[in-house]
Amino acid sequence: MIRKSFTLALDALMLTASIALLGWFAMQVRAPETRSPEVAVPEPERAAASSTLRTDTLEIRKRDTVVAALQRHDVAPATAHEIAGKLRAAGANLRQVRPGDQLQLSHDAEDRMVKLAYAPSPWVRLEVSDSGSGWEANRAEVEPEVRIEVRQGEVRRSLWDAVDSGAVAPAVLLDLVRIFESEFDFSAGTRPGDRFRFLVEARYADGVRVEYGRILVAQYMSGGRTLTGVGFQGPDRFAYHDREGRSLKGAFLHSPLEFTRITSGFTYQRPHPILGGVRPHLAIDYAAPTGTPVWAVAGGTVQFAGRNGGNGIQVVLRHRDGYATYYNHLSRIARGVRPGERVSQKQVVGYVGSTGISTGPHLDYRVSHNGRFVNPLSERFLPGEPIAQARRAQFLEHARALIERLERAAPFQS
């Protein structure tokens, strides 16, 4: 009995030890881990390189075409023609491509061209991309940002001082002259110390000024006299008026040439440089290079066009209210100018020369009124038409606001 109990106890002890030993062994020998499939993660630099396009700038050369430029850049002829066709379909006039224009070509990591960008103007951007099944074009138009800017200047030697100093763009200065060309002769009347100021539209694309637009209001001060021109949008056009609403587009311009100088004025006693003696010079002589365009100072009808003795090649125009204008010593007459034909104000009627009795290239310009020669620089020609009464109050308020803004932005220093 005692031996049987001892055997049972020993068996139980061995079983407990075996269980303990198996548990320890299980802790030491782990089951294999279950791993997720590995995902290859590219290194940062390698990933960036694969997603970045390389862009080259291709510049159009003299006598180049878009197709020729692309082929010079190793683009296949068929691809080059397809891209050019897509550009045309998007509105590009490839005949107007000029030397210096640029094409932006983008290539992928395999050096395959996948995109072309072309801006025919600052306001239009074209992009042709490889879609995988062909080339597709997109057109984007840039909305101009219009800013109102002030410009001012003072005449030192000539009106062009403002251009030379960079204060005013040449085209804008010419616009200023055109505003007052019926009120002031910039060839004869400009003096050192004259001052001007104006507000002008400036058009920007992406923060960069591209071009100038209209002058909104302008003033020119000379000899104590201040000319004012206010731009106003009428029913059919944008035009300039003085403070009171009278049109600045007078019946007569003050000068038949643009930016020249007077070498001889209107006088009844002038020593003649060729014939000798003292003779009347009932004209204004404008010095200018041969071939300089001469325009009609007012609308009218051609009365004479041809050679006329000492006047050389001459054009005579007949205007309303008894006025006539004479343009002498021309090198030639403009096409279509012949007796009986109508001409408009500022239409070119001839070109400066030195025909007839003349010492050198210049224009001898004369004005007669009812058969009597008058001084073109002092004659009071017909004023411009006033603004319509129905719009007068609107104009006066518009003019007041613009002039006040101009005076605040660019005061004339006394």
What's the mean pLDDT in 145-170?
86
**Each residue's pLDDT tens digit, 173-191:** 999 999 998 888 887 778 8
With CA atoms as reference, report the closest residue to 125 among 108, 139, 104: 139
Domain with CATH 3.10.450.350 in the chain: 52-141, 144-250+383-414
pLDDT computed for residue 259 by the predictor = 63
Q: How confident is the model at residue 352 (pLDDT cuts 50, 70, 90)?
A: very high
Task: Quick: pLDDT tens for 185-212.
Answer: 887 778 899 999 999 999 999 899 999 9
| Burial classification of residue 225, based on how many CB atoms lie within 10 Å of its CB (0-12 exposed, 13-18 middle, 19 or more buried) | exposed
Distance CA 203, CA 41 (A): 49
- Single pTM value for the model: 0.70
How many CB atoms within 10 Å of residue 21?
Answer: 10
Report the topology of domain 52-141: Nuclear Transport Factor 2; Chain: A, (3.10.450)
CA angle 335–258–283, rounded 5-degree value? 85
Query: Under CATH, which number does the domain 261-374 receive?
Result: 2.70.70.10
Q: In 10 A of CB 138, how many CB atoms?
A: 12
Residues in the chain: 414
Confidence bin at 38 (pLDDT 50/70/90):
very low
In whole angstroms, what is the distance from residue 386 CA to residue 325 CA? 25
pLDDT at 224 over 90: no
Residues 273-309 pLDDT 10s: 544 444 566 788 988 899 999 999 999 999 999 999 9
Say yes or no to pLDDT of 409 above 50: yes
Topology, domain 144-250+383-414? Nuclear Transport Factor 2; Chain: A, (3.10.450)
In this predicted structure, the answer to whether residue 241 has a pLDDT above a threshold of 50 is yes
Distance CA 242, CA 160 (A): 24
Q: Does residue 229 have a pLDDT over 50?
A: yes
In sequence order, what are the residues at sequence separation of 6 or more whose Cβ sits closer than 8 angstroms to the Cβ of residue 176?
Answer: 168, 196, 198, 215, 218, 220
Average pLDDT score over residue span 58-86: 93
- Does the pLDDT value for residue 36 go beyond 60? no
Question: What radius of gyration do the chain's Cα atoms show?
Answer: 41
